[in-house]
Amino acid sequence: MDYWIGGLVDGWMVGFWEYWIGGLLACWSFGNLAFNPDAPVKKAIPHGLKNHTELSAWFFNLRGIFLLLLPLLFSACAKKPQPLTLLPFNGQSAYALLVKQCDFGPRVPDTPAHDSCRVFLGEELKKYADQVAEQTFDEYLPGLQKTVKLTNIIASFDLKATQRILLCAHWDSRPWADQDSDTSKHRRPILGANDGASGVAVLLEIAKTLKSSPPPVGVDIILFDGEDAGLSGQNDTYLAGSRYFARTKDARFNPMMGILLDMVGGANLQLYKEVNSVNYAGAVVDRVWNLAARLGVTEFIPTPKHQVTDDHIPLLNVGIPVIDIIDFDYAYWHTAGDTPDKCSAASLEKVGRVVLAAVYNPEK
């Protein structure tokens, strides 16, 4: 259904000029047939071209027929949009994965919930990926005033493929609900249903598809730790996992593009183009938002809005064109209200379908 709508729109865009020019040629050709002053009554090609008048009439008729056929030739040669390879995405299943993460409690570094969720994520990805690696490191978090163990989880599909796409999200949740209107909650951790769990849920669900229907490119899913344990107003205290990954990454790891998912499950989903992504990976932004338009996913709004410091920044700094798909208008951001009931399977499904389209149609 979506493909047909997208195909019709695309077809019309190409068809517009094609049929305009074709129509003009057809009129001119018809004119040659209908109004040629030398046209004889007899239409058949003469057996013997006895005199100049007959030769001339035959030539004019031939030209008319040829020109009438030209629009058809033009139409056949015109470039048609390629149909998209579209795979289904199970929003309900992704929503269950979001709830599952929240059931551990806030995934704040150096807590039992954080540790249990790390084990779950690793086991889940091992069911589908060709390789799952844990990248563990120590990081001093000034907001927690201690050094903690953080772990990025890296799941790779088709290790031999040189053309690769990176998909990522952060799996930790913020230790403080410091945007809550109730100041008594500012020192409590958030559940992070949307801020953390939503992006991870979409990627876990995508992992199943990558296993069952291998895409034409290699894929690396990275779940970053320690994204959200930064102090408000101090950007360099955030993004611990992606900063560590970027500064230690193998020089040979250079995916053609990357997509970061953050707060993509809100029931009232609004995905404007993020400004840093537009400035530093604009071609990827355009491609993804164009795919969303072809799929009829209108929650992808083709206007730049927020400029967000997120896990794509350290990756952009080492030359990987990664974009951030983020709903920064989410009303429960960094509040105690960021719970599963504010999220929906429908939102996860829309984002999942667009990301799958980007992975399975890497050249479109």
Question: To the nearest whole angstrom, how small is the minimum distance from the Cβ of residue 262 to Zn ion?
Answer: 7
228 binds Zn ion per the rule CB under 5 A: yes
Question: To the nearest whole angstrom, how small is the minimum distance from the Cβ of residue 195 to Zn ion?
Answer: 4
Axis-axis angle for helices 345-360, 199-212 (nearest 10): 50
Sole window of 32-40, 118-126, 226-234, 311-319 interacting with Zn ion (rule: CB under 5 A):
226-234
- Closest CB to Zn ion among residues 175, 352: 175
Residues 2-61 that bind Zn ion (CB under 5 A): none
220 binds Zn ion per the rule CB under 5 A: no
Tokens representing residue 324 in the block = 């951030």
- Closest CB to Zn ion among residues 195, 205: 195
- Closest CB to Zn ion among residues 195, 299: 195
The three-point CA angle 235-240-119 to 5° equals 140
Question: To the nearest whole angstrom, how small is the minimum distance from the Cβ of residue 338 to Zn ion?
Answer: 9
338 binds Zn ion per the rule CB under 5 A: no
Q: How far apart are CA 217 and CA 355, in angstroms?
A: 13
Among 139, 195, 205, 310, binds Zn ion (CB under 5 A): 195
- Closest CB to Zn ion among residues 195, 311: 195
Residues 237-266 that bind Zn ion (CB under 5 A): none
Distances (CA, A) of 200 to 101, 351, 363: 9, 12, 25
Sole window of 82-90, 96-104, 202-210, 228-236 interacting with Zn ion (rule: CB under 5 A):
228-236
Sole window of 46-54, 220-228, 252-260, 279-287 interacting with Zn ion (rule: CB under 5 A):
220-228
Sole window of 44-52, 145-153, 193-201, 297-305 interacting with Zn ion (rule: CB under 5 A):
193-201
- Closest CB to Zn ion among residues 135, 309: 309
| Contact in structure between 165 and 157 (CB atoms under 8 Å) | no
Residues 6+ apart with CB under 8 A from 118: 134, 151, 153, 171, 225
- Closest CB to Zn ion among residues 205, 228: 228
Residue 108 C-alpha from the chain's centroid: 28
The three-point CA angle 287-124-103 to 5° equals 100
Strand-pairing partners, residue 146, are 141
Neighbours of 73 (CB within 10 A): 12
Cα–Cα nearest to 223, from 112, 350, 317, 129 = 129
Q: How far apart are CA 333 and CA 341, in angstroms?
A: 14
Helix (H) or strand (E) run with residue 221 in it: strand 218-224
Q: What is the DSSP string of 71-90?
A: HHHHHHHSPPPPPP------
Sole window of 94-102, 142-150, 192-200, 318-326 interacting with Zn ion (rule: CB under 5 A):
192-200
Question: How many residues sit close enough to Zn ion to count as binding (CB under 5 A)?
Answer: 2
Sole window of 4-12, 178-186, 223-231, 356-364 interacting with Zn ion (rule: CB under 5 A):
223-231
- Closest CB to Zn ion among residues 195, 220: 195
Q: What is the DSSP string of 277-338?
A: HHHHSHHHHHHHHHHHHHHT-TTEEEEE------THHHHHHTT--EEEEE-TT-TTTTSTT-
- Closest CB to Zn ion among residues 60, 328: 328
- Closest CB to Zn ion among residues 156, 335: 335
Sole window of 217-225, 227-235, 278-286, 312-320 interacting with Zn ion (rule: CB under 5 A):
227-235
Question: To the nearest whole angstrom, how small is the minimum distance from the Cβ of residue 228 to Zn ion?
Answer: 4
In the complex, the residues that contact Zn ion under the rule CB under 5 A are 195, 228
